[in-house]
Amino acid sequence: MKVILALTGLGVLAMLAELFRMRKIVYPLMLAGLAACIGIAVSYWWLDDGPWSRLFSSMILFEGSSVVFSVIILTTAFLWFIMSGDFFKGENSRTDHAVLVIFSLVGAIILTSFSNMTMLFLGVEILSIPVYVLAGANKSSLASNEASMKYFLMGSFASAFLLFGIALVYGGTGSFDLRDIGLAINSAPGGPAAFVYGGIVMMIVGLLFKLSAVPFHFWTPDVYEGAPTQVTAYMSTVVKTAAIVTILRLFLTIVFAGVDTFWIPILAVCTGLTFFIGNITAAVQENVKRMLAYSSISHAGFLLLAVVAFSSFSAKAIIYYTAAYSIASIAAFTVLINVASQSGKDGVDAFNGLGKKNPLLAMAMTIALLSLGGIPPTAGFFGKYYVLNAALNSGHVWLTVIGILASLVGVYYYFRIIIAMYFKEAEGDHVIAANNVHQALLFITAVITLVLGLLPDLILNIGTIAASGPVAVTP
């Protein structure tokens, strides 16, 4: 797939820029390169035989869902780079940070298009290892170093579970190829071997860790709080999107669809716990960064709910939800970066009076929080509506009720920030300002959030393609 090769080449160019002491061109090079990669991904729609591409002996298969999710991930990364300009200003680290992010994106794109378990594992590791390092990018901060170590250790255990699960599935089916695995499971007399079920459980453990879903979420608050805010935003958007795409390709396709009666109850319980714990713990947080960490756990619950719904609409619901969630998260973290860096605080009280100090920041944060909370007319409302509708139509009434209650709790803690911005007096007379780049980014994200909320079919029509292809959604 050309996007993987282009991103790899972009990472190599960044390393060469360091070698030839051309660090100043790295940041604009990354922006231009990502824009080109988005164009390459989009260009697959105009191929004569449709959006298809095979790579590495068909171990990578770039089809409908791969195109859509690749565009979402790359667009999110492009916006993230715009948001994170200060993260690349350090003379001794700008190249390192850029290279780590770009190679992490290579892993994310692999996870949108793998058709072989070997590439699944490679994609997870290529995505994760650079992020372990990025979490500790603030070398002078003990919290950042601790976050990196925690993420690395917990991630290593999760990868071990994933790899052992892949080995068990291979032992029971005799193949690493997704289609062959699905055919072996569906055609086995009396069902697949018992240890295949054990392999599926272990793979669920490894993937739910990447998604930061309960009960494998314990690392999330500490790592999100300790890591640089820009890295937290990256983990909350790109990494989470790649994780749910991986789960979608395994569980909503021919691969494990034949044993859905086994894994749906497991994911259903994890989804209910994710809703409950994610929202209750977020509601009692005073630190906004930590609050967003726990709220991201809740959003993982909605993404899992779409998988549990196990319908032909699930893929489209996930596409819409990831797009809406990523855009809103980028906006929220952009505002948080400006407020925290200029006030020296990242608690809820740091936002007191922001509506008067900087109306643009307050407006952008309000729209982002309304979207994350699922309030119309923002994109987040339809994101939650489509997921809950899919779950209800699939008969998961109890999970739908829990999801609605979770949304109500989410409205409470998101509105705490909105109330602080508009109804509380600011502490001190310092001005909260944003540079022109951040102002433009916030304006763009606000417009996208409102447009997607008013015209949801823009994404849904594209999402229809995601259910096509040789690893198509089964239901």
pLDDT at residue 46, rounded to an integer: 60
Looking at the chain, the whole-number percentage of residues with pLDDT higher than 70 is 93
Over residues 359-372, the pLDDT tens digits come to: 899 999 999 999 99
* Least trusted range by pLDDT, from 33-47, 110-124, 155-169, 234-248: 33-47
The widest CA-to-CA distance across the chain, in whole angstroms, is 74
The terminus-to-terminus CA distance of the chain in angstroms comes to 28
pTM of the model: 0.92
Give ∠ CA 37-39-45 in degrees, rounded to 5: 120
- Gap between the Cα atoms of 443 and 257, Å rounded: 42
**Is the predicted pLDDT of residue 51 greater than 60, yes or no?**
no
pLDDT at residue 72, rounded to an integer: 93
Confidence of residue 312 (pLDDT cuts 50, 70, 90): confident
Over residues 371-428, the pLDDT tens digits come to: 999 898 899 999 999 999 989 988 889 999 999 998 899 899 999 999 999 988 877 6
- Cβ of 377: how many Cβ atoms within 10 Å? 14
Token pair for 422: 């508009």
pLDDT at residue 473, rounded to an integer: 42
DSSP state at residue 86 = G
Cβ-proximal residues to 299 (8 Å cutoff; 6+ apart), any chain: 240, 278, 321, 325, 372
Using only the alpha carbons of the chain, give its radius of gyration. Answer: 21
Distances in Å between the Cα of 454 and the Cα atoms of 325, 379, 381, 451 are 16, 8, 10, 5
pLDDT at residue 469, rounded to an integer: 43
Looking at the chain, the whole-number percentage of residues with pLDDT higher than 90 is 41
Confidence of residue 429 (pLDDT cuts 50, 70, 90): low
* Least trusted range by pLDDT, from 13-17, 49-53, 110-114, 117-121: 49-53
Token pair for 357: 């100090």
Please give the torsion angle defined by the CA atoms of residues 306, 311, 313 and 316, in that order, rounded to the nearest 10 degrees: 50
- Residue bearing tokens 């409205």: 411
Phi, psi of 61 (to 5 degrees): -130, 110
Token pair for 226: 């300790």
- Gap between the Cα atoms of 382 and 376, Å rounded: 8
